[in-house]
Amino acid sequence: MNDCVFCGIVAGRIPSTKVHEDELTLAFMDIGEVNPGHVLVTVKPHAENIYALDGRLAAAAFQTAARVAQAINRAYAPEGLTLYQANGVAAGQTVFHFHLHLVPRYNNDGMRLTWPAKNPPRVQLEVNAARLRAALE
Ligand code: AMP
Ligand code: ZN
pLDDT (tens digit per residue) in 54-99: 999 999 999 999 999 999 999 999 999 999 999 999 999 999 999 9
Is the distance from the beta carbon of residue 72 to the nearest atom of ligand 1 less than 6 Å? no
Atom of ligand 1 minimally distant from the CA of 85: 3
Please check the confidence at residue 1 and state whether its pLDDT lies above 70. Answer: no
Ligand 1 centroid to Cα of residue 67, in Å, is 20
- pLDDT class of 2 with cuts at 50, 70, 90: confident
Residue-averaged pLDDT of the chain: 97
Half-sphere exposure of 19 (CA within 13 A, CB side): 21
The continuous run of DSSP H or E covering 13 comes out as none
- CA–CA separation, 27 vs 64, rounded Å? 8
Tell which one of 5, 13, 48 to mutate to probe ligand 1, the residue whose CB is within 8 A of the most ligand atoms: 5
Give 105-132 as a DSSP string. Answer: E-TT-S-----------HHHHHHHHHHH
Strand arrangement of the beta sheet that strand 99-105 belongs to: 18-21, 25-29, 39-43, 99-105, 80-84
pLDDT of residue 103: 98
Half-sphere exposure of 25 (CA within 13 A, CB side): 25
Q: Are strands 18-21 and 25-29 parallel, antiparallel or unpaired?
A: antiparallel
pLDDT of residue 106: 98
Question: Would the pTM of this model clear 0.95, i.e. be above it?
Answer: yes
Give percent of the chain with pLDDT exceeding 70.
99
Is the distance from the beta carbon of residue 32 to the nearest atom of ligand 1 less than 6 Å? yes
Is the distance from the beta carbon of residue 49 to the nearest atom of ligand 1 less than 6 Å? no
- CA–CA separation, 19 vs 14, rounded Å? 15
Atom of ligand 1 minimally distant from the CA of 96: 4
